Chains A and B, each alone.
Chain A
Amino acid sequence: MKFAVLVFPGSNCDIDCYKAVESVLGEPVDYVWHTATDLSPYDCILVPGGFSYGDYLRCGAISRFAPVMNEVAKAAEEGKFVLGICNGFQILTEAGLLPGALRRNMSMKFACRDTVLKVENNQTPFTRDYEAGEEIIIPIAHGEGNYYCDEETLEELRANGQIAFRYKSNPNGSVDDIAGVTNKQGNVLGMMPHPERAVNEILGTVDGKKMFTSIINAWREQHDAANVR
């Protein structure tokens, strides 16, 4: 299974994502610059955190027009796995690949600490190795992670099981304590917390590991190699 980590000017969690794939899965992973126009070799696209284009205008507003984003839309359409973390989540909402938008934190403060998340849907390719309702510790680091969608969209998210994670204690004012959502098909996930920073004991928590193992297990099942290894 081949992973791509997108790199925009201002991305700063790209190395964390790369290292997480490398250390947890040992699968091939490449950095892919935002000007790339072909993602066809990759099975999973990671859109990392950071401050792409300096968050000018709005977080993710400029990045969504980067050439590579057409390819991300294509990959999503083809059913490939797309995971947007933090700024990556903001980019995916701006691009319309995920519903809603991220607003300034209610507290007006940059929130940088561990949070407890509840796995609300463990039937997605990103969460299948977690137990339903499992509580996991994953760090957040954002100033604009306050998730918003209108009532109608929220009802749809609930009805379709698109809410992947909720915060146990809401750190930013997100509607319905939402920490991460998927698209309707379930192959695109966006989340503000950083699973890639939670894959090694020395980082304080390893609860992010199962997200990466989930992805590869989902891929193997799709490719009929579930029993290998």
Chain B
Amino acid sequence: MKAKVYVTIKQSVLDPQGVAVQGALHSLGFNEVESLRIGKYMELELGDVNKEEAEGRVKSMCEKLLANTVVEDYRYELEG
């Protein structure tokens, strides 16, 4: 079983990195970029767990460590 975890800064929270990269794209002429958010992508190889179990485990990992829910949102996908 594989889990893909995406962590992004909440929409309500300023993302200075995203703003800086957006500015850089504009300076390169990519003026259509209206917004850019930078996040983290994590791949987790999970051992012998069923999907239902993995669902709860990965959610708990996100809540406890992988994301800081004060400023970040997370979502994940399970495969296999």
Cβ-neighbour of B71 out of A65, A107, A148 (below 8 A): A148
B65 at the interface (CB under 8 A from A): yes
Indicate if A80 sits at the interface (CB-CB under 8 A): no
Is B16 a contact of A108 with CB atoms below 8 Å? Answer: yes
Residues of B within 8 A of A148 (CB): 13, 70-71
Q: How far is the CB of B5 from chain A (nearest CB, A)?
A: 11
Whether a CB of chain A sits under 8 angstroms from the CB of B68 is yes
A100 interface residue (CB < 8 Å to B): yes
A58 at the interface (CB under 8 A from B): yes
Q: Does A228 contact B (CB under 8 A)?
A: no
Interface size on B, residues (CB 8 A): 13
Instruction: Name 12 A/B residue pairs within 8 A (Cβ), A-sorted.
Output: A65-B65, A100-B70, A103-B16, A103-B71, A104-B16, A105-B16, A106-B14, A106-B16, A108-B16, A108-B20, A148-B13, A148-B70
B16 touches A146 (CB 8 A): yes
Q: Cβ of A103 and Cβ of B13 under 8 Å apart?
A: yes
A93 and B9 alpha carbons, distance in the complex (Å) = 17
Write out the residue numbers on chain B whose beta carbons fall within 8 Å of the beta carbon of A150: 12, 70
Interface size on A (CB < 8 Å)? 19
Flag whether B54 is at the interface (Cβ < 8 A). no
In the complex with contacts A57-B65, A61-B65, A101-B70 CB distance below 8 A: yes
Interface residues of B in 1-58 (CB under 8 A from A): 9, 12-14, 16-17, 20, 40
Which residues of chain B have C-beta atoms less than 8 A from A100's C-beta? 70
Q: Do B68 and A61 have beta carbons less than 8 Å apart?
A: yes
Complex Cα distance, B18 from A206, in Å, reads: 38
A149 at the interface (CB under 8 A from B): yes
Q: Which residues of the other chain, A, contact B16 by a CB distance below 8 angstroms?
A: 103-108, 146, 173
Residue B78 interfacial (CB < 8 Å) = no
Which A residues between 118 and 156 are near B, CB-CB below 8 angstroms? 146, 148-150
> A94: CB under 8 A from chain B?
yes
Contacts of B68 in A (CB 8 A): 58, 61, 94, 101
Q: Can you name the residue of chain A whose Cβ is closest to the Cβ of B66?
A: A57
**Which chain A residues numbered 17 to 63 have a C-beta less than 8 Å away from chain B?**
57-58, 61
Q: Which 10 A-B pairs have the closest CB atoms?
A: A101-B70, A101-B71, A104-B16, A108-B20, A106-B16, A108-B16, A101-B68, A148-B71, A58-B68, A104-B17
Q: In this complex, which of B20, B66, B70 has the most chain A Cβ atoms within 10 angstroms of its Cβ?
A: B70
CA gap between A101 and B9 in the complex, in Å: 12
Instruction: Give A89 Cβ to nearest chain B Cβ, in Å.
Output: 14
Q: Apart from A103-B16, A104-B16, A149-B70, what 16 extra A-B contacts exist at CB < 8 Å?
A: A58-B68, A61-B65, A61-B68, A65-B65, A101-B70, A101-B71, A103-B9, A103-B13, A106-B14, A107-B16, A108-B16, A108-B20, A146-B16, A148-B71, A150-B70, A173-B16
